[in-house]
A = this chain, B = another copy of it.
Amino acid sequence: MARSHAGIAVAPGKRPRGSLSREEILEAGLLIAKRDELTRLTMKKLAGELGVTPMAIYRHFENKAEVIDGVLDLFVRDAAVADHEVGKEPDAWRRWTLVTFGKMFDALTQTPGVMPFLSTTSRFGPAAMSALNAVLEVLRRAGMSEKQAVDTFAVLCAYTIGAAGLATAWSRADGAGDPDEERRRMRLSIEATPRSDFPNVVDAAADLAGVLQRFPFQMGLERLLRRELPD
């Protein structure tokens, strides 16, 4: 359980002085988020991961909220959503934007525990700032005004976060793991409700189950980017 900053196993309480850094605490936090769930991140669990007493963390962070904010920004940096080139074709900005928010969606669905905190964190960390800056750059170069670019960013961001939230919430509904089993159970559970109450829901059971298994993320994203610019 205990890991030193150099990766050598250490007995608990035997940590060299001054070896605990903000960076390392946040990395341990992200590790817990990826392996377990950010929702289940505890000061004691985080301290255990670092081979340290919980109170040691308070020397580097004001409180847990500050730790979470830091982990979230590290998560954004780690996802590297804007870390790819803009192509040469006339429509390149659209493709780039699709890929960027696609990466964001993938990162969010693969690290489910972060969702509940996205509506809680208020400050933009440096990594979030950097990603925002890159997106604005591309949209402006595509010919958008400042306001158009900002609005488009906000709308795409909202859609991506909401889609990731629904995708993770629905996929975790039942059927521990296996996607086919998940879909089958969801379909049965919908078809079990009385058709006289919600006829349209029951009729669409198969399609609803399909959406629960694989959220139509790409479809909505393309709709949001369709016909945006004259060229």
Total copies of the chain: 2
| A92 contacts the other chain (CB 8 A) | no
A160 to B219 CA separation, bound complex (whole angstroms): 16
A132 to B146 CA separation, bound complex (whole angstroms): 37
Inter-chain contacts of A166 with B (CB < 8 A) = 119, 154, 157-158, 161
- Say whether A155 contacts B119, CB under 8 Å: no
Nearest-neighbour CB distance to chain B for A206, whole angstroms, equals 8
- Say whether B136 contacts A204, CB under 8 Å: yes
Which residues of A (154-179) have their CB < 8 Å from a CB of B? Answer: 154-155, 157-163, 165-166, 168-170, 172-174
Which residues of A (183-230) have their CB < 8 Å from a CB of B? Answer: 193, 197-201, 203-204, 206-208, 210-211, 215-216, 219-220, 223-224, 226-227
With both beta carbons as reference points, the residue of chain B lying nearest to A163 in the complex is identified as B158
Nearest-neighbour CB distance to chain B for A175, whole angstroms, equals 11
| A130 contacts the other chain (CB 8 A) | yes
- Say whether B119 contacts A158, CB under 8 Å: no
Nearest-neighbour CB distance to chain B for A128, whole angstroms, equals 10
A161 to B216 CA separation, bound complex (whole angstroms): 16
**Size category, A interface:** 35 or more
A206 to B147 CA separation, bound complex (whole angstroms): 9
Inter-chain contacts of A136 with B (CB < 8 A) = 200-201, 204
- Say whether B132 contacts A173, CB under 8 Å: no
On whether A172 and B122 interact (CB within 8 A), knowing A166-B154, A204-B146, the answer reads yes
Inter-chain contacts of A123 with B (CB < 8 A) = 173
With both beta carbons as reference points, the residue of chain B lying nearest to A154 in the complex is identified as B211
- Say whether B154 contacts A215, CB under 8 Å: yes
Inter-chain contacts of A87 with B (CB < 8 A) = none
Other contacts beyond A122-B173, A162-B165: 19, CB < 8 A:
A115-B119, A118-B165, A122-B172, A122-B174, A129-B198, A133-B198, A136-B201, A146-B204, A146-B207, A149-B204, A150-B204, A154-B166, A154-B216, A155-B216, A155-B219, A157-B166, A159-B162, A162-B162, A224-B224
